[in-house]
A and B are shown apart, each in its own frame.
Chain A
Amino acid sequence: MLNKFKLISRTKVISVVIVGASALLSACSTDSIVGQAKLPNGVADPELVKTPAGAIRAYAGALARLMPAYNCLIPAAGSISDELLSSSYGGPIGYYGPSYYTYLDSRNITERELNSTRCYSEVNAIRTQTRQAVGLLTDYPSPHSEAYIGHLRAVEAHAQIMLAESYCSGIPLSTVDYNGDYTLKAGSSTHQILESSLTLADSGVAMSADSVRILNFAKITRGRVLLGLGKFRDAANAVAGVPTNYAYQISYTTSEQTFARATGNSWTYTVGNGKGGNGIRFFSNADPRSSAVQIGTATSAFGQPIYYPDKFNRTGTTPFIIASGLEARLIEAEAALSDKDYTTYLEILNNLRRTAISPAMSDTTDPGNDDARLDLLYYERANWNYLTGKRQGDLRRLMRLYGRDQDDVFPSGQYLGATGSFGTAVSMPPSPDEYAFNKHYAGCLTTSE
């Protein structure tokens, strides 16, 4: 019996030891053993942004997103319109084929085929960041938080205008929710996007009343939205009081801006000079508002001279002006034309020619009929707003609101490069990734307006 006793006894001891040790280990907290995690010092602590000062940094971060978006969108909108032409090789489709901007140049853009992720992402990043910043400013307020929020609402509206003017009808306004998940959405029509932008711009105007600088930006943004909706008089009222010399501009470091940087005698683009036959001859017409200079003797892949716009410094240090008093006056001129107040219309245009540039330009004359007046207005807009990312929106508005044919307003006919002729695109589709990864997204509602 003693052997059996010993056997059982040892088994019991072993069992007790194992159970006891297991219980002890089970009771151990991982945190108490491995310690609290520390963030890598290359990663900013996300908690730091959850303070009033952090919220203001997030606000500044939202404003900073405008630069990369415009750095991308100005040449994109310029290429699909008559402002710019790619100077790179225009070979056939393939690995060494035409660049992204050559597709834009020739308006040969089809949905899903184009690698247009970068611009599209940059514009949407403004929206994402403004929402985060608004959430932070709300939760962690400081004395000027309301004005900052108003500013951000206007900036978000501005970003939506960029989508409405440059991208096809049917862009989704998905959101990254502050302190939460994200919400993917189906496409909104251009009209819906503008309506949504109007709400944001209204909020921007209402909340930024104590800052003239921000208020003027919000007003111009609101006017631009109303202009897109065809509410010309409302648009004019919205921008009333914005000084003509007002400018909302983006400054940046040289390394941030790549669009206007020219190396030696080469530049990625050349200024459009009668692109497609119907484009404005930005170089040849010698208009001081959009003057250009030929750099060296270098030519594009198609043998064309490379023209560089005077308004930019070739080192890439000239700020981008994204909203201005000039724009406000031109909105007022369009409202006057819409009201058939031709005198006011012409006076606004000539007043700008006399006062908004030095030396002053000579007056223009009333062309005599509404179609020609509209042409003149948009010619003036094209020159005043040269390379500010607005030309494509202007041309599309001519189609959408004034019934112009796309081949009349966009470059058309024989394209200089090997792709043959101009296509029919008037807008850019969203990134192929939107089709792939947004289950609610079904594509452009229309690509012809």
Chain B
Amino acid sequence: MNFQNLVVHGIAVVAIVAVPGSVVGASQRSIAMDVSVNSVLNTAKVRPGTELIGAFQSTADRPVASKKISLRLNNVSLQQVLDEIAKKSGIDLMYSRAIVPVSKKVSVNLDSVSVIEALSKVLEGTDVVPRPSSNGSVRLVRKETSDIVEVQQFGSISGRITDSASGNGIAGVTVEVKAIKRNVLSGQNGSFLLNDIPVGQYNISLRIFGYVPFSKVVDIVEGERTTLNVKLSPSATRLGEVVTTATGRQKKVELGNSITTLNVEEIMKTSPARTVTEILDGRVPGLTVQQSSGAPGDPARIRIGGIGSVNRSNDPIVIVDGIRVVGPQSGTEGRNSAVTTNWAVTNNAWAPSAIDQIDPNNIESIDVFKGPSAATLYGPDAANGVIVITTKKGKSGPTRVSIGGEYGLSSIPGKTPTAYFAKGTIRYTDKMAFCTAANRSVCTADSVAEYQLLNDPARTIYGSGNSSALTTSITGGVNAIQYSLTASVRDEVGILKLPDAEKAWYKDVTGRNAPSWMKKPLGLKSWSLSSMFGADINDKLNVTLSTGLTKQEQRRSSIENQIGRLMRSFIGEDGTIYSAEIGDMAEQQRAVRDFFQRTTSNSTNFRGNAALNWRPLSWFTAVANTGINTVGRTDGFIRPRGLQVQEESLDTVGAYNRGEVSTANNTFNLQGIVQNDLKWGFKFRGSLGANYFSTENRTLTVTSTNIPVGTNGIGGANVIARDQNTDEATFGWYIEPQINHKRLWFSPGIRFDGGNTYGSSIPLFRLPKMSFSWLASDESFFPEALKPYISSLRLRTAFGQAGRQPGPTDRLRLYTQVGNQSTVSTLGNTALRPEKSSEFELGFDIDMFEGRFTMDATTHHKTTNDALLTVPLPPSIATSSGSPRITRNIGKVRNTWSEISVGLIPVQSMMATWTFNVNMSTMNNKLVSLGKGVEPFNTISSPGNWEIRVAEGYPVFGLWTRPVIGYSDINNNGFIESTEILRGDSLVYAGQQSPKYTLGGNSSLSLFNSSVTMSANWTYSNGQTIQQRYGAYFLRGNVDPNAPLEEQATAILNSTATGLIQTVSVFELGGMAISYRLPHNIARKFKSNNVSVSLMGSNLGIWSSYVGKDPGVNSVVDNESMGTSDSGSLPRSRNWQLRFNLNY
């Protein structure tokens, strides 16, 4: 045996003694030995035939080998004797079973002899002798090698490697002592230990992709442990960023997908964003956010890659810290509940989505997986993408406290377009009327007037709002325990107000002043409390517990529903308000007639989860994660009795509705990850996991009318109560092997899924995936001439499938039961199966000039071949529910989108840093096939001159209108009548509901060592088709018979029967902020380490071709098929906030 062998022996021993402070049993020792030896043998390049050395690890203190012991054992194995000696002496015994005949039977009878004497005695007759080591242990070696061992002296080195920005530990860093060819990987929290290093001076190097390499010369001293704590700085390439995937945290470079990662902590510092959807808006290529109203808390709809499913939800699912939370953003579920019966209760006022109840102040990062190729392993319903939210973790070290507060003001930006009115007379009835192009043949106009009530300071319902917020977070940790606590409160008052005339009217009717909720009817109050505790039980086991609790109270009012009518209301010379409905000239009793309807929504959103990470072996990790997310919500709608405006309406008798909803999501994930080095430089990482997910919904709604005078409850009223419960569960398991060879990562995988859909048992269905990533810039053949400029160049591709379950009762033929009658209402289809979306993506990432320029581009092709379509059937087989429909797996939908993200740092110095980021995407959605024999169909209830249609060759839910053939003043009366417009018989495609092109950008400028930071963000979109239902009123040609005929014709053609359908381009200056970090001497006056103040503005400007007020609030979140109808939506407000932050 030569010296190298001995060093190898030392490595083996080091790995074993790395087990902290434990006295392990023989079997455990054996396992530990095998693992440790194996893991280092490859790197040490030991020659075949090297003998292995076993070890006993005793207590931390090291007794000398001369300690006296007594021993009496008869006819036992040598192994038992050695165990007993180690136990009695507390000394480390190191040996190899290959050279020590451990099964040999021996008998000993020794009294008060030294350990060495005892060992020599029991080893008599073998060629093994004991040799005390300088560190107090005893080695059992062959006689012929024993002399050499004595000459070597050892020390050790340990430390922790952390991210210089976040302070978080970095796992997987290679710590190498090149001189002796020793290395080790850092653990989960970044710590490492290299033991038994021969004394001397060494250059220690640290390497991990994504960080700047580090090296330092250290002294290894005999018998001592040298400490090396290092903060690594992120390198220019972003491929080293860690992404939280379904199978654990992985570096981006290993994944073949385009995954957008948002550093929420950073965004929140310089952005006025207050919700998750606001954070996502404009920052994720391929992701669009549509809003339905500017009311505080109104839910927004998120789409990734456009609309992929005709029949099922197009919402991405949401995962927080590994568990699936209540996350729908559209449909009835998007209204903060997973059931459908609350419409009557909430009177069309939607409460915030659950996704926006997650406190952004407690979010560390968001990873967006954009389709099946990236989301396969996330299981059912992941076909629309996955939003993975990681909350803040604690950091070891001193307690850090951060306090942030803000106050803001809001108002409506700009003006509502002027409306045109033509007063006149109906020919047959001599009634006064508003004449328009639609009734021009029977209405004779007298005059044309311009007016816009919403711009009239005396009558408008647009006022000012305000907001305030306070956030405190505490993080810290000691040794193996970390914690993070975040508490936030927010109070917003919306911009709607009750005009003075309405306040006076209310007082006249009731004798009381209007209450404050009528004067300022919109509001949102919320508070959140989030916590995270992490504990490293030992080096192999850590536990994380995290919770989030949010309570919200939202106020809405039907005054918001009046906007569409108010913007086409006319005021006469005597101050009389008229509603300009075509065909009459009805005087309105009130300009605002529904302000006494109030809707409140109180919800409590709780999330709690526990995660266990166990690494029993160096090559095996087991992860268990379980959690629950509950949303409890109480909605109330009150319309007091007696405020009569309309005859025999609810105004007379009053109404009170109440709904209680609770939703509980339960998630349980179990996963095993193995890692192993294979031959020829290949590395293997395999994941095997299973998920169980269930959701339970409980709803009780009570609607009542005819409520007693003076009450706000259901006592004495006519009451209808209804409850609805649903329970659904899914189960799936997956396997994902990953093979890595130097710069190549290849990862196939497959997932099996099933659920308890009603009607029939569904077998597990298969969803395969594949991902390939190649870091071309690290190849030896990569041109050297380019290396100074290109930090990294990666090519990647991925394929995957994900599914969507059919509706829970789609398989069943259902009968409606009313009293003693049963009538068939739904035909059902027992052959239904989940629809599968397959996605292929291809892209590259390039980082240049030390990270000063970055770009990645990806193209996605997603196809759903067996799309679920609920197709109409002819009414000759009508059921009791009217025109029948049936769901089938017959459609084929294709979504293709491409995205490019570019980052630029034109200036980077201590004095000034200027960053510029922009992302662009194009989106195409097409219904390739409807299935054999299925005709295009309309998805709105009243087809006619326009439809939202599902038709082959066109985007799903495209807008269709009748084409214009021409127009002519046939009767020569000088103006165009609707009968003089010639329209086609069939509807033609007008446009898609989601934008074709989107662009999001942001830029920031940091000055004077980041003491002053300025930032701005903007978005641009083009190709979205919006229907402004009352657009006719904004066109003079619609009412003015003296307008040019072409203008009249245009107004009639585009507005009379269809509303104004327009394909728009929109540029929005979303926000600007300026922050100033106060000098330290001033900060110290606040007893703070760091104090900063910021002025932030949002929704600062819209430049658009849209004829209407705000093209950004046009989606009807309630229905998948309806997206872009603006019938008087509340515009988004412009907000200015003053914010401060103190850090301790």
Contact = CB atoms under 8 A, between A and B. Distances in A.
Given A92-B979, A439-B933, A58 B823 contact: yes
A313 interface: no
Contacts, number: 270
A60 B815 CA distance: 13
Nearest to B814: A46
Given A36-B756, A91-B438, A121 B694 contact: no
Find the residue from A28, A92, A125 having the highest chain B CB count within 10 A: A125
Given A30-B756, A30-B761, A301-B428, A433 B815 contact: no
B935 A437 contact: yes
Interface string A15-52: 00110011001101011011111111111101011000
A434 B38 contact: no
Contacts of B809: 39-40, 43
A182 B878 CA distance: 11
Interface string B934-962: 11110000111100000000000000000
B822 A182 contact: no
Interface in B966-1010: 977-979
Interface in A140-180: 171-176
Interface in B791-833: 808-809, 812-818, 820-824, 827-828
Contact of B978 (A31, A92, A182): A92
B574 to A, nearest CB: 26
Interface in A336-387: none
B827 A182 contact: yes
A438 interface: yes
Interface in B413-456: 428-429, 438-439, 441-442
Find the residue from B38, B877, B883, B942 having the highest chain A CB count within 10 A: B877
B582 interface: yes
Interface in B865-922: 871-880, 882-884
Contacts of B821: 57, 60-61, 64
Contacts of B822: 44, 48-49, 54, 57-58, 60-61
A94 B694 contact: no
B690 interface: yes
A441 B933 CA distance: 12
Interface string A104-124: 000000000001011011101
Nearest to B759: A37
A41 B754 contact: no
A63 to B, nearest CB: 8
A30 B754 contact: yes
Given A36-B756, A92-B439, A96-B582, A302 B428 contact: yes
A124 B731 CA distance: 42
Contacts of A40: 724-726, 808-809
Interface in B624-663: 647-648
Interface stretch (A6-14, A77-85, A242-250): A6-14
A264 B442 CA distance: 27
Contacts of A14: 619, 674, 676, 684, 686
Contacts of A30: 731, 754-756, 761-764
Nearest to A122: B878
B50 interface: yes
Find the residue from B37, B731, B933 having the highest chain A CB count within 10 A: B731
A174 B722 contact: no
Interface in B654-687: 672, 674, 676-679, 684, 686
Interface string A165-204: 0000001111110000010110000000000000000000
A25 B733 contact: yes
Given A42-B724, A92-B441, A92-B977, A172 B876 contact: yes
B730 A34 contact: yes
A34 B878 contact: no
B764 A1 contact: no
Nearest to A60: B821
Interface residues of A, number: 87
B877 A10 contact: no
Find the residue from A61, A173, A299 having the highest chain B CB count within 10 A: A61
A122 B875 CA distance: 9
Find the residue from B582, B648, B814, B875 having the highest chain A CB count within 10 A: B875
Interface string A230-264: 00000000000000000000000000000000011
A140 to B, nearest CB: 12
Nearest to B763: A30
B174 interface: no
Contacts of A7: 38, 42, 677-679
A204 B883 CA distance: 28
B882 A121 contact: yes
Contacts of A318: none
Contacts of A431: 874-875, 883
A176 B827 contact: yes
B874 A21 contact: no
A65 interface: yes
B935 A49 contact: no
Contacts of A43: 809, 812, 814
B83 interface: no
Interface in A67-103: 89, 91-97
Contacts of B733: 22, 25, 28
B583 A89 contact: yes
Nearest to B880: A125
Contacts of B684: 14
A131 B1122 CA distance: 36
Given A21-B672, A128-B824, A38 B727 contact: yes
A96 B937 contact: no
A61 B823 contact: yes
A60 B818 CA distance: 10
A132 B824 contact: yes
Contacts of B759: 37
B823 A3 contact: no
A437 B873 contact: yes
Interface string B763-777: 110000000000000
B880 A61 contact: yes
B1058 interface: yes
Contact of A418 (B442, B619, B688): B442
Contacts of B154: none
Given A61-B823, A115-B942, A10 B676 contact: yes
A438 B754 CA distance: 35
A6 B38 CA distance: 7
A200 B882 CA distance: 24
A115 B355 CA distance: 41
Given A94-B438, A264-B647, A302-B428, A184 B730 contact: no
A62 interface: yes
Given A2-B52, A437-B872, 9 more contacts: A11-B678, A30-B763, A48-B817, A48-B822, A58-B824, A65-B823, A121-B882, A171-B876, A441-B874
Interface of A: 1-4, 6-7, 10-11, 14, 17-18, 21-22, 25-26, 28, 30-31, 33-44, 46, 48-49, 54, 56-58, 60-62, 64-65, 89, 91-97, 115, 117-118, 120-122, 124-125, 128-129, 132, 171-176, 182, 184-185, 263-264, 299, 301-303, 418, 430-434, 436-439, 441
22 contacts: A1-B49, A4-B48, A10-B619, A14-B619, A21-B688, A22-B733, A30-B731, A42-B723, A44-B814, A44-B815, A46-B812, A46-B814, A49-B815, A49-B822, A121-B882, A125-B879, A129-B879, A171-B876, A299-B429, A437-B871, A437-B935, A438-B876
Interface of B: 34, 37-38, 41-42, 46, 48-50, 52, 341, 428-429, 438-439, 441-442, 582-583, 619, 647-648, 672, 674, 676-679, 684, 686, 688, 690, 692, 694, 722-731, 733, 735, 752, 754-759, 761-764, 808-809, 812-818, 820-824, 827-828, 871-880, 882-884, 933-937, 942-945, 977-979, 1056-1058
Closest 7 CB pairs of A and B: A30-B754, A61-B823, A438-B874, A34-B729, A121-B878, A174-B876, A37-B756
